[in-house]
Every structure is written in structure tokens, then in C-alpha cells.
Structure 1
Amino acid sequence: MARVAASVAVVTAIDGDGPHGTTVSAFMSLSMSPPMVLVSLDRNSQLLEIVRNTGRFGVNVLSSDQGEFGNVFARKGRDKFAGIGWSADHGVPRLPCTAGWVACATTSLLPAGDHELALGLVLDAESDPTLRPLTYHLRTFGTHVPAA
């Protein structure tokens, strides 16, 4: 699967302890009517438990210059938001200057091996057409460049 290029996003949620987030490359559009997305979350992740309890999650599609966000949110621990500006939007943490943003209400959590698939109804979505998305391919970050 390392040979399959994927977008890089940080999935976020918030609870009484504050914001939480994790880097994912398993994120996709699921439906246009109604607008829905799918993200895959590790069955043992704290974020999954928060999504289960709150019924909401955000998807921050990172821009090509946000590889450091990708690294920070990929590690374990609770201090991932230290020094990172964020705002609450539709009840979930939103990172600044991302290529895309989606706020979701969780409609289903489906078991899938050692992960669960979180299906989300899109409450709000925005994108910045001036920013290229961050991608992950062959275990390195990059971006999409249109073919000549």
C-alpha cells in the first residue's frame, strides 16, 4: 500500500479534556446526496472513543507545506495541539491554513479489522483552491502536480 498515493488529513474531535487529533491517510468522499465522508480510525485510539461519545469529527486536509502537522498528529500522546493554533468550528477543532476542511456528524461506526470506519454526514466543508494538498507516497510526504 506504500505505493498508493493518499491525501493526508488530521481528524479531530474535542471533549472535556480539550482537542484531540490524529493523522490519517484513509479518508474519502462517500456520498454526494447526502454529502458524506469516511475516515478509518484505529480501534484502540483515544480519538475513536471521543468520536463515539460526541458524535462529531472534523477532517483537516493538510496543505503541501503542513508535513510537520502530519508528523505531530501521527505520534502518540495528548499534547499534539501544544503550540498549534486552532479554532472550534461546528464543535470540532479546525487547524489553520489547510487545503480543505470538513465538519461531520457521525452517522455510523463500522468494524473493519483493527480499525473502525467512521461515516460522517457533512455539516460544513471548505477548500482553498490556492493550496495543494499534502500526499503520502512511499512513506514520504509530497503533493500532487498535474501532468503536463
Structure 2
Amino acid sequence: MDDRQFRNAMGKFATGVTVVATEVEGNVHGMTANAFMSVSLSPKLVVVSISERAQMLEKLNQSGKFSVNILSSSQQDLSMIFAGQQKNHQEVKFERLGEVPVLAGAVAQIACEVSAAHIEGDHTLFIGKVTNIHTEDFEPLIYFSGKYRSLAQE
């Protein structure tokens, strides 16, 4: 199988959309990611997968802390900004959840400390110990087959 066939098959898995954020030397950095999942309830752990080519890789290694912001359906523009798809945009304002930057209006904000990092293929899997959570009752932003989607109304 070729890379395109693999990517197309993986795109058939509908996911939520997140922005992973961290802070290094007073500067906030973020990137869009849909490679996110919960790992454990006890202890509370999540994982994000970061490409070896992503600038965020070194930032997470430096900070040791990050947030996962599960985007709401009204935050497609933020997804595109942090995916590098919108170059001309206004500065994004971050709030704080404990010691990490978070995005207001997200369905969930999850603050984490890096508890482990595993290099697998061309990505590093960062295991995050959850230190704080804030949730809202908003509709999530969904990504499927290369397009943003929304949940169907009943």
C-alpha cells in the first residue's frame, strides 16, 4: 500500500479536533491535532501524537506541560490557524487552566504534565497526566474524510 492509500483509510475514522498548547519562556505555542485519545482512568492519562517534523515536538520536550483543547463547532477557524492553513489572522488569546494555556470556548480544556514520551515511527507519543479539566456543553467540531463536519441533529 502507498502513503496516500494509508492516509485515505485513516481519514475514514471520524475524530474530534483538538489544539494542543504549551508555553515556553513566556511564549504560547499551539498546533491542531486529531491524534488524541484517553489512555487510563486511574491514573487519569491521555496521549497526543506529534510528528518529528512539528515545531511543537521540541516545545513539549522543553515545557513538560500541555493542554488539549477539544474544539467546538464554532472554532473551525482556530483549527485552521493552528494547522497553518490561515496565515493572515488576528492574534489568538489564551486563558489559563492551572499552569497551562487553554482556548476559551472549547468543549473541553484538559491540562496535563508529560509523564512519558515514546518515539514510534515518525511521531512521538506524549503521555499526559491530567492535572485539571474544564468542560462546556457545546457541539464538537468533527473531522472526517478530509472535511470539517458537524453532528447530525436528531
Tell me which structure has the larger Cα radius of gyration.
Answer: 2
Q: Report the Cα offset of residue 99 of structure 1.
A: 0.5
What one-letter code is carried by the residue in structure 1 that aligns with 2:74? Answer: D
Whole-angstrom CA distance in 2 between matches of 1:118 and 1:4: 21
Which structure features the higher share of helix residues?
A: 2
Structure 1 length normalisation: TM-score? 0.90
Q: Which residue of the partner structure matches residue 100 of structure 1?
A: 108
- 2:140 is the alignment partner of 1:133: yes
Q: Which residue of the partner structure matches residue 121 of structure 1?
A: 129
Instruction: Give the gaps of 5 or more residues in structure 2.
Output: 1-9
Give the superposed CA RMSD: 2.1
Q: Secondary structure at the match of 2:93?
A: coil
Q: Report the Cα offset of residue 82 of structure 1.
A: 4.6
Which structure features the higher share of strand residues?
A: 1
What one-letter code is carried by the residue in structure 2 that aligns with 1:107? Answer: S
Structure 2 length normalisation: TM-score? 0.86
1:1-148 equivalences in 2 (<5 Å): 1-16=10-25, 18-75=27-84, 82-129=90-137, 131-145=138-152, 148=154
Q: Are the counterparts in 2 of residues 21 and 80 from structure 1 also a CA contact under 8 Å?
A: no
Q: Report the Cα offset of residue 90 of structure 1.
A: 2.3
